[in-house]
Amino acid sequence: MKPALRLAGALLLSCFGLSAPVFATEYPLPADNSRLIGENTLTTVADDKRPLEYIAARYKTGMLGMLEANPGVDPWLPKAGTQLTVPLQMLLPDAPREGIVVNLAELRLYYYPKGENRVVVYPIGIGQLGAATPNMVTRISQKIPNPTWTPTANIRKRYAKEGITLPGVVPAGPDNPMGQFALRLARGTGQYLIHGTNADFGIGMRVSSGCIRLRPEDIEALFNSVPQGTRVQIINQPIKYAIEPDGKRYIEVHQPLSHTEQDDPQTMSITLSGPLKRFMQSPESDTALIKAAIARRAGMPVLVSSGEPVGDDTVLPAVLQEAQGGQATISQAMGASEQAP
């Protein structure tokens, strides 16, 4: 299976805060009544013929996040000299700030170390179409260094369709797609794990057989930090929103997870909860900007307070035109034939 990733071609909203490069995944935890963390940054593509994944890994973000923020960029060979937005600002998910929280829609894992005033954020890969990672509240039941991999019957069937016969057990080592560390979840028979990878591609994408994967250095850091028994909550929130202590209102919209090959994540509808509708309909919210943000799906917080200046007047009309259904959509297919746990 090769799930397609479709992105809209549109102008960048001018509400993003930009700063000098930041290389950490760790953020100070904001107050309980605040959810905004981090700052976006800009980077310029070097003339080194490296893929977008190299830039994403350097800034410890995911492929989908980079593609959402920079529609039209070539994921395999971005053009030298192109200026890219790196999405390092985000809203914390609407979930308890405890243990591990995974938001599938944004392909990020949030770790809240107990008793510490910080949150550590990691980009992740999740289950592909037909092998989706489910929502759940569970815990870490086992920490496994140097894991072996026992492919399930369904995984073996998928590989067989590609002409690959898997062994009954893949031993630990450099050829093991689970990497060097794994955290088993207590859900079901323990078939879901948070683990590493032996590939240099696929973080921030839907490529796994249902497990959650991290880059090797990230899973090692998480493995060494998180205790067995830690609470794990997996959610699916394509839209996050917040009213900050200073009264400013933000919305962060990601492409929703597709359900079929025919779904276009850039245009498919997103279910709006009751509280979100009230947020949108408030006189303190700019409805046009919210609609534009939902249409754009940039994966970054957008300031949507009513009456708030939004920057360059040449940008806003184009964004508002998107909200009214006038945008031109650019579909960019990215094949991801890899199948792994």
CATH class of 100-225: mainly beta
User: Which tokens hold the place of 102?
Assistant: 């995974």
Q: Is 182 exposed, middle or buried (0-12, 13-18, 19+ CB in 10 A)?
A: buried
Scan for tokens 């995974």, then name that residue: 102
Q: Is 166 exposed, middle or buried (0-12, 13-18, 19+ CB in 10 A)?
A: middle
Q: Indicate whether 28 pLDDT > 50.
A: yes
Domain boundaries, the chain: 100-225, 239-338
Q: What one-letter code names the amino acid at 279?
A: F
Q: What is the pLDDT of residues 110-158, one digit of tens each?
A: 999 999 999 999 999 988 777 789 999 999 999 999 999 887 787 788 7
Q: What is the pLDDT of residues 124-133, one digit of tens each?
A: 998 877 778 9
Phi, psi of 154 (to 5 degrees): -65, -40
User: Which tokens hold the place of 55?
Assistant: 């830039």
Element (DSSP H or E) covering residue 42: strand 40-44
Q: Can you give the pLDDT at residue 308?
A: 73
Instruction: Of 256-260, 280-284, 337-341, give the lowest mean pLDDT range.
Output: 337-341
CB 278 within 8 A of CB 311: no
E strand map for 174-322:
181-185, 193-195, 206-208, 212-213, 231-235, 239-243, 249-253, 301-303
Higher per-residue confidence, 12 vs 263? 263
Q: Which residues are catalytic?
A: 195, 211
Q: How many CB atoms lie within 10 A of CB 1?
A: 16
- Rounded to a whole number of angstroms, the CA Rg of the chain reads 20
Nearest to 8 by CA among 302, 326, 335: 326
234 Cβ neighbours under 8 A, 6+ residues apart: 101, 102, 104, 133, 134, 135, 136, 137, 138, 212
Q: Can you give the pLDDT at residue 314?
A: 31
